Amino acid sequence: MPLGGVERIIYGVSDMPGSVQFYDDFGLNAIKRSDAEVIYQLEEGSKVILRHIDDPSLPAPHYEGSGVRQTFYGVDNQDELDIYAERIGVDREVKRGKDGQSIEFLSDCGIPLGLRVWSRKRVSYAPDPVNAPDNIQRLNQHRRWRYRARPKTINHVVWRVQDIEKSFAFWRDRLDFRLTDYQVNAGIFGRAPGAMQHHVAYFQRFDALGPPPHSPGFDHVAFGVEDIDEVYAGWNYMERRGYKNPLGGVGRHRIASALFCYFDAPCGGMAEYGADTDYLDDNWTPRVWAPAFGGFMWTSRILPFLPEELPWEVSLDDSQLPKGAVPEKTAQYSEKMLGNYRSGSGEKK
């Protein structure tokens, strides 16, 4: 498989005790705790790492305050890592990890990134069947009892950027990401070639619709839970402990169809419970969405920036997409790349 999902995120935080308490309450499992570093590991093997904001091991910040300072994606093997290192290193520094199993670099918009050899573990999910009149899927069976959420995956990371097209172009041309959906002048959703989730990265124009802050930087990280019951159980558990939900509760996005519930995090940005997202492959056709229409299908309450009703505004007209967003073939692709995927064509050699 080609480059896949998020292997780890590394925070720089000013409030280490508060940040640790937040992710303990959020439902993550810590595998290492020290004054300098706390490491959480999810069932898929991905990691969330908390370090002090001035830790010298962190890359230089590209925004002010606490938040994710570095994001790593997983690759399957050393050969694949070497291919990416060569491609990325043509015009910027690529730093090798001490064990040779990772590389670090900056995107065109200055976001610190990395790739690491990673064997992702398959997670175990079995959502309860849903009943409806005359469509009984759960007979003589009570729904599972939940009292809190326990995320098992890192689904995506979102950045607020000045130029969404320039930012996405690096992920497309150097990391082989596919554009999955486009919000006009507001945001671009990108899927890693080895992942099937609707998006692994989202680039949001920093001054577009949505809650503050309206400045470039890290916005949020989304974690995968099983179903709507686990989303709501997590919401209740976190709210009882005083954490603020900036969007007022649970909702469902129009784009990607995913259920969501966000919390402001002491470690910076927001952390999101997510479930029931769309899954895609290279046969998917990117859509063009009006910026306001594309955000939410429903929410627990009407938000100040969300009109109550909107007309259907979505198109499959690829002429409206950013130039080069879905090329028929990409010259940067190496024939040595496992799978020999051709970007945007849905074709496998």
pLDDT tens digits, 33-56? 999 999 999 999 999 999 999 999
Confidence check: pLDDT of 95 > 90:
yes
* pLDDT, greater one: 346 or 3: 3
Correct CATH for 6-117+150-315 of 2.10.260.10, 3.40.50.261, 3.40.50.2300, 3.10.180.10:
3.10.180.10
Neighbouring residues of 43: CB distance < 8 A, sequence distance ≥ 6? 121, 123, 124, 152, 153
Residue 207: its pLDDT value, please?
Answer: 80
**Phi-psi region for residue 74, left (φ > 0), alpha (ψ -120 to 50) or beta?**
beta
Neighbouring residues of 56: CB distance < 8 A, sequence distance ≥ 6? none
List pLDDT tens digits, range 154-200: 999 999 999 999 999 999 999 999 999 999 889 999 999 999 999 99
List pLDDT tens digits, range 104-145: 999 999 999 999 999 999 999 999 999 999 999 999 999 999
Confidence check: pLDDT of 320 > 80:
no
Confidence check: pLDDT of 297 > 90:
no
**Is the Cβ–Cβ distance between 61 and 12 less than 8 Å?**
yes
Residues in the chain, how many?
349
Beta carbons within 10 angstroms of residue 240's beta carbon = 10
Split at pLDDT 50, 70, 90, the class of 295 is confident
Confidence check: pLDDT of 152 > 90:
yes
Domain spans, the chain = 6-117+150-315
Q: Token pair of 206, please?
A: 């920093």
List pLDDT tens digits, range 2-27: 899 999 999 999 999 999 999 999 99
Confidence check: pLDDT of 332 > 70:
no
Split at pLDDT 50, 70, 90, the class of 316 is confident
Residue 299: its pLDDT value, please?
Answer: 87
State which amino acid sits at residue 145. Answer: W
Split at pLDDT 50, 70, 90, the class of 249 is very high
Residue 263: its pLDDT value, please?
Answer: 97
**Is the Cβ–Cβ distance between 326 and 319 less than 8 Å?**
no
pTM for the complete prediction? Answer: 0.90
Residue 291: its pLDDT value, please?
Answer: 83
Confidence check: pLDDT of 329 > 60:
no
- Give percent above pLDDT 70 in the chain: 90
3-state secondary structure of 142: coil
Rg (CA), the chain: 20
Judge if the upstream peptide bond of residue 213 is cis by omega within 30 degrees of 0.
Answer: yes
Residue 210: its pLDDT value, please?
Answer: 64
Beta carbons within 10 angstroms of residue 206's beta carbon = 19
